[in-house]
Structure 1
Amino acid sequence: MPVKEIPIGVSNRHVHLSPSAVERLFGPGNALTPLRELSQPGQFACRETVSLIGPKGRIDRVRVLGPARGETQVEISLYDGYTLGVVPPVRDSGDIEGTPGIVMEGPRGRLRIDKGVICAARHIHMHPADAAAFGVHNGQRVKVSVDGPRGLILDHVLIRVSANYRLEMHIDLDEANAGQIATGRKGILLG
């Protein structure tokens, strides 16, 4: 049986903004400006950054990712939550009901959101051809092994399948630090 390797991408804190949030934070008529392409087709890191302001602290220069989305979402690590004074639940991206809010500050304004702060659950983006080759399906939860001096097994990894995706597992900075994992490292799908 062939080894099922998956490239890993480490995701630092970032925000996804709705079009109205973009205008509120960066000014009327402004649009997000691509800085560099991300691993997933059509996704990009923006030149724009915001400050996150919580009850206990703030984090400046948090990268905005584009393109603009239907709802604003803030993805931080659990450690970032301590800094800000918020407790982000571990959630699948887009699952923001019942999550804490936060204040964001841009160069042209402030925005308070009542929900949308999460610690993104680890997940694997797959094209349908990858899913077929790996024998998995959209919504399935799997385990992934990462070798190394601090090797670990990541459990409850969500499979996300779309024709718009390129094969890559996303973990946050806390998980990467725990396993001494850098972007580009490979994990092995265990099933």
Structure 2
Amino acid sequence: MIPIGVSNRHIHLKREDLDKLFGEGYQLTTAKKLSQPGEFAANETVRVVGSKGEFPAVRVLGPLRKFTQLEISNTDSFSLGVKAPLRASGNLDGTPGIKLVGPKGALEIQEGVIVAERHIHMTPGDAANYNVQDGDYVSVKSAGERSLIFNQVLIRVKDSYALDMHIDTDEANAAGLRTGDHIEIIK
């Protein structure tokens, strides 16, 4: 069984954008550690402004990345008025941009808004155990009153990962899942 982590809307920032939004040399502060080693939900939030609506406090996740990426759900996409494509994290070519507002400034990112592809983080040992490789796609099954089969679940393998499947709030709500619930890969 693989634990579930439900991802609410959030943003990853690169150094240059953090400086523009929070001030030169600003350091993120940790509110809560996340399931993946070294990753955390920061105390800091940004306002995200779309053509139809806005979210006043989108959580920043750390540590900093080489790119700025806003991860939202399909429902969020409609609320903001942005057509966010389904993508694996980091695959930002051709994605839409959006306006970000922080306490020290604002900026328009030219790309980086996605609906994150559901995925399972695992170590090489986990991958060998499940007989999968980085970049494979699998189907998984949830249990409970609203059990579902999720197809096209991306496998992401790295030594530093902890075993965890990430889905967004739309997917979690459809299946009645919460962080800490478990799924199984269908053979």
Same-fold call, TM cutoff 0.5: yes
Which of these residues, 42, 45, 48, is aligned with residue 44 of structure 2? Answer: 48
Please give the alpha-carbon distance, in whole angstroms, between the structure 1 residues aligned to 2:30 and 2:5.
Answer: 19
Counterpart position of 1:174: 170
| Aligned positions of 1:145-160 closer than 5 A | 145-160=141-156
How many Å apart are 1:147 and its aligned residue? 1.1
Amino acid at match of 2:55: I
- 1:14-163 aligned within 5 A: 14-163=10-159
CA shift for structure 1 position 106: 0.6
Q: RMSD of aligned C-alpha atoms?
A: 0.6
Could you tell me how far 1:164 is from its partner in structure 2? 0.6
Instruction: Compute the displacement of 1:29 (Å).
Output: 1.7
User: TM-score with structure 1 length normalisation?
Assistant: 0.97
Task: Give the CA deviation at 1:53.
Answer: 0.1
Q: Gaps (5+ residues) in structure 1?
A: none
Contact 1:23-1:31 at 8 Å conserved across structures? no
Measure the CA separation in 1 of the matches of 2:29 and 2:19. 13
CA shift digits 1:101-134 (9 cap, x unpaired): 0000011110100100000000000011111111
Please give the TM-score of this superposition, normalised by the length of structure 2.
Answer: 0.99
Task: Count matched residues.
Answer: 187
1:171 Cα deviation after fit: 0.2
2:51 is aligned with what amino acid? P
Match of 2:3 in 1: 7
Deviations 1:72-99 (A, max 9, x none): 0000001001110001100000000000
Q: Distance in 1 between matches of 2:52 and 2:64?
A: 28
CA–CA separation in structure 1 for the residues paired with 2:3 and 2:63: 23
Matched residue of 2:4: which SS? strand
- Give me the whole-angstrom Cα distance separating, in 1, the residues matched to 2:172 and 2:107: 30
**Runs of 5+ consecutive residues of structure 2 not aligned to the other structure:** none
Deviation at 1:179, TM superposition (A): 0.6
Q: Which letter does structure 1 place at the counterpart of 2:59?
A: R
| Stretches of 4+ aligned residues off by more than 3 angstroms | none
Sequence identity (%): 53
CA distance in 2, matches of 1:15, 1:169: 19
